[in-house]
Structure 1
Amino acid sequence: MNAIDPSAAILPARRIAEFAAGLQYQDIPPAVRERARIHILDALGVGLASNAYSFADRTMAGIRALGGEGECTVIGRPERLPLRDAALANGFLIHGLDFDDTHLASIIHATAACLPVALSLGESIGATGQELLAAYAAGMEVSIRIGLAVKGGFHHTGFHATGVVSHFSSAVTAGRLLGLTAEQILNAQGIASSTASGIQVFLEDGAWTKRFHPGWGAVAGITAARLAQNGFVGPKRPYEGKFGLFDSHLQSYADHADIGALHDGLGERWELAETAIKPYPVCHFIHGAADSAIGLRADIPDVDAIESIRILLPEPTMKIVAEPAADKLRPANDYAAKFSAQFVVAACLRLGRFGLAELQPEALADEATLALAARARCEVDPDSAFPTYFSGGVEVVLKDGRRLFRHERVNSGAGERRLDTAGASAKFMGAAGMVLDEAAARRACEAVLTIDGRPVRETMAVLAKPA
């Protein structure tokens, strides 16, 4: 990583600030706006579905205890909370099932890192739908570009990348909604550099903290923007400065960071449009292998005839979704199962699908699936297109000696296989239908797909559940 003389170059944080402060709805290409609506729809569907699980009620009880009642909507719930508590809750719900979108190259859940602020702050200040979409687009670009700059380094040093970047993208999203100047958005990023965190220790035991990270970033982003708005001064080189984000969080990987990725082509090349929507509610690293397993299912008349399973995964993902193997073979809970390539592939081979039902307690305890998982081993995929795509392959050896193999270079939901409006709407209706009746889910879907044509408060009212 090359040191930058602040007096000799445009600083990345300032370039980001100028971009966000000047961005207008009309500046966003129509095709990018369409993808933005699709991704907002996807995130809100997942957020609604999270309410069908016990973790949502328990978490909401804790959040309600923080500040009591307020004026802001919580997705799919009757409660109304103070601004920052509502953003915390909405961030938690959107990321609660790990079914939200991912920008593959930056390895972050981009929408979860900025939409909670856009929704809650937008509702609080009476923003228009166009103002929300512009702020969301600015936040998406920031979160994705930080991920691109670090080249997966956060994961290597134990940080949850989405948890880290959400502080910065939320600060920029909030700054854009509040109409801050470029100087103020610059300071907001600097303030966020002192709050950005989120460690990956949840991988050890399936703890709930990963769900919490984007919402906490939303709280920090709103805080940073309001402080900056009132003259609070933050560091001007929060990313590349000495002891800035790259130094502190990348550690030995700091020299590999690409500072230019933070701002090169900003406002001209829209990374938002390259974000992938998940077809499966599991870690995105497993999706290529899941595709391969489902593709093989039709050629396996009897899963009891499977002797062994070989799963091919991108090398940088092995420690997250394949190791330690003993823990992955019998996931302790639904969250651990989302990060087990062995369990997910076994379920795909047995059932020919993997949805939210496959993460229910009875599915996790299914001995037929667990017996298949015990026959699986994971290896590095020599033909992976990672990180452009989350490629994966599966080889099945049958007891009669036959070998069946399938490899997916482009995982479903990404690239030319990305979900269009119809596909995203179908996913939304299935997810929203877990907590809303069909008519209410349909109204919500239609409202979100026209989100830029109505006040934010109107959209949020449709997403709330009556008391």
Structure 2
Amino acid sequence: MTGQTVVQRLAALADEVRRTGLPGDLRDDVARRVLDLIGNSLAATGLPAVRAVTAVAEGWGGAEQAVAIGTGRRLPAAAAALVNGTRAHSLDFDDTHLPSVLHPSSPVVPAALAAAEATAASGAALLDAAGMGIEVTVRLGMGGYDRKLGNSEFFERGQHATSICGAIGAAVAAAMLYRLDADGIAHAAGIAASMGAGLLEANRTGGTVKRVHCGWAAHSGVVAAEMARHGLTGPPTVVEGRFGFLHAFCGERADVDAVVDRLGTHWELPGIFFKPYPCNHFTHAGIDAALALRAQGVDPAAIESIELGVPSPVLRTIAEPAADKARPESGYHAAFSGPYTVAAALLGGGGLGLGHDDFTDAAAADEQRLALAAKVRCVADARCDEIFPNQLPAVLRVELRDGTRHEVRVDVNRGGPDNPLSSAELATKFAFNAEGVPDRDAIAAAVLDLAAAPDVAALMERVRG
């Protein structure tokens, strides 16, 4: 419809999806993402950041509207979204969209689950709302992607696009479940645009605040939808305006047209990558290369030196400051270290190649791993620069003490549409994440059958803890 602003076009599609539903294949895709997110959230039980956020949310009190996963508690919808969003992102095991390089499910699905419980919405309505919220999130992320630069402008400025764009996607999802019409959904999105935030410095030099980013975005989305429900309004040009979302965050490099490109006919949703390893996605191709070298029989004890080639923009996250990346201060920081993840993969790992046990504080302090990590030199690689960020490639070159050299190049990441995780591998990942959780098989079955569920209450009670 001509004459509509960007947020009005997004809201019109969201309202149509609310009334008519997503196609079956997209609902199935969203169900897989809900399963992935719940598994990641269950695995985060006991983390200090999760305990801290849960304590804050419980201290607020309020109506028992939605389950806070793994806590045994029901909280107000916005507070439950805060806890669950924090859990979903805490292990850095959440799905990734390229080339925007953001994690769309972690801010959106927790908001949708909380709103669905609060409104007794059906499982199908949950999937429709979550799918639309994820789509809005990645489209806003693409609005900040600069093709000439070959990178996200959000990332260039040190901004966490996941939480910034995710707050708006979460608001769209929650507004749909609160049964707001197109105008109400647009207002919820416009309100949430003032709430999204997140800085990436913790990836470089430490701190656990990044774990809360998706929780705060989910919380903001529910609050924005509730405010819109009660009459608060947002600006109609909130996305493209002179003082709107994209210009404020990305300046002149913003691409407004990308947000609505083929809107309603092309869905980004099915192409979002699932993660096989619980660590920063920039490290994954290096891990794959290290696992390949190990499979070829390379003995870590015989290694003299290692060179990890990655795209230039990636160095800031997984290679700098070099001393900190070679000796990460904790298991969490090890998940953002190119040298450590390569060393861990060469020495062996769990899960689907590397697992949660590889990112404990004890594992990060293991002297054998640190000694091997100290041999890793991270460099920019020209071919990787050409491919990035449509994939997150790497090349690993190893020289042994006898002068023998080995090289493995990984151009296509595991878990994406060109190298997908099978249903069996996703089931293995969920079982790995939900180890020790009663009825984990029943939980998985309930998630994958959400399209037929009358509500989400029974599912959420199973993961209440």
- Which category describes the TM-score, using the shorter chain as reference length? over 0.9
Higher deviation after alignment, 364-373 or 451-460: 451-460
Q: Distance in 1 between matches of 2:192 and 2:198?
A: 13
Tell me by how many angstroms 1:198 deviates. 1.0
- For 1:185, the equivalent position in structure 2 comes to 185
Q: Distance in 2 between matches of 1:335 and 1:206?
A: 9
Q: CA RMSD in A?
A: 1.7
Q: Does 1:106 align with 2:139?
A: no
- For 1:271, the equivalent position in structure 2 comes to 268
Partner SS state of residue 383, structure 2: coil
Correspondence list, 1:223-234, <5 A: 223-234=223-234
Q: Does 1:291 align with 2:288?
A: yes
Q: Distance in 2 between matches of 1:17 and 1:24?
A: 10
Identify the match of residue 342 of structure 1 among 339, 344, 348: 339
Higher deviation after alignment, 164-173 or 349-358: 349-358
Does the 8 A contact of 1:447 with 1:459 survive in 2?
Answer: yes
Encode CA deviations 1:90-117: one digit per residue, 9 max, x unaligned. Answer: 1011111110111121211110121011
Distance of aligned partners of 1:301 and 1:379 in 2 relative to their CA distance in 1, 3 Å threshold: closer
Q: Distance in 2 between matches of 1:101 and 1:312?
A: 23
Tell me by how many angstroms 1:381 deviates. 2.3
Tell me by how many angstroms 1:276 deviates. 0.6
Q: Distance in 2 between matches of 1:70 and 1:106?
A: 36
Structure 2 portions without partners, runs of 5+: 146-151
Given residue 161 of structure 2, which amino acid in structure 1 is its aligned partner? A
Higher deviation after alignment, 157-166 or 415-424: 415-424
Q: Does 1:84 align with 2:78?
A: yes
- For 1:3, the equivalent position in structure 2 comes to none
Partner SS state of residue 242, structure 2: coil
- For 1:127, the equivalent position in structure 2 comes to 121
Correspondence list, 1:206-225, <5 A: 206-225=206-225
Correspondence list, 1:2-21, <5 A: 9-21=3-15
Higher deviation after alignment, 232-241 or 128-137: 232-241
Identify the match of residue 36 of structure 2 among 32, 42, 48: 42
- For 1:420, the equivalent position in structure 2 comes to 422
Q: Distance in 2 between matches of 1:279 and 1:37?
A: 18
Q: Distance in 1 between matches of 2:442 and 2:291?
A: 33
- For 1:4, the equivalent position in structure 2 comes to none
Partner SS state of residue 415, structure 1: coil
Partner SS state of residue 411, structure 1: coil
Partner SS state of residue 416, structure 1: coil
Distance of aligned partners of 1:447 and 1:25 in 2 relative to their CA distance in 1, 3 Å threshold: farther
Partner SS state of residue 404, structure 1: strand
Distance of aligned partners of 1:146 and 1:432 in 2 relative to their CA distance in 1, 3 Å threshold: same
Given residue 36 of structure 1, which amino acid in structure 2 is its aligned partner? V
Does the 8 A contact of 1:172 with 1:189 survive in 2?
Answer: yes
Q: Distance in 2 between matches of 1:37 and 1:342?
A: 35
Given residue 450 of structure 2, which amino acid in structure 1 is its aligned partner? I
TM score, norm. by length of structure 2:
0.94
Q: Does 1:96 align with 2:90?
A: yes
Q: Does 1:436 align with 2:437?
A: yes
Higher deviation after alignment, 106-115 or 414-423: 414-423
Q: Does 1:258 align with 2:255?
A: yes
Tell me by how many angstroms 1:54 deviates. 3.9
Does the 8 A contact of 2:192 with 2:224 survive in 1?
Answer: yes
Q: Distance in 1 between matches of 2:404 and 2:169?
A: 50
Does the 8 A contact of 1:69 with 1:79 survive in 2?
Answer: no
Q: Does 1:308 align with 2:305?
A: yes
Tell me by how many angstroms 1:76 deviates. 2.3
Structure 1 portions without partners, runs of 5+: 1-6
Encode CA deviations 1:180-212: one digit per residue, 9 max, x unaligned. Answer: 121121122221121111112222443121111
Q: Distance in 1 between matches of 2:72 and 2:319?
A: 39
How many aligned positions are there? 453
Tell me by how many angstroms 1:71 deviates. 3.4
Does the 8 A contact of 2:287 with 2:345 survive in 1?
Answer: yes
Higher deviation after alignment, 119-128 or 354-363: 354-363
TM score, norm. by length of structure 1:
0.93
Partner SS state of residue 268, structure 1: coil
Q: Distance in 2 between matches of 1:229 and 1:63?
A: 22
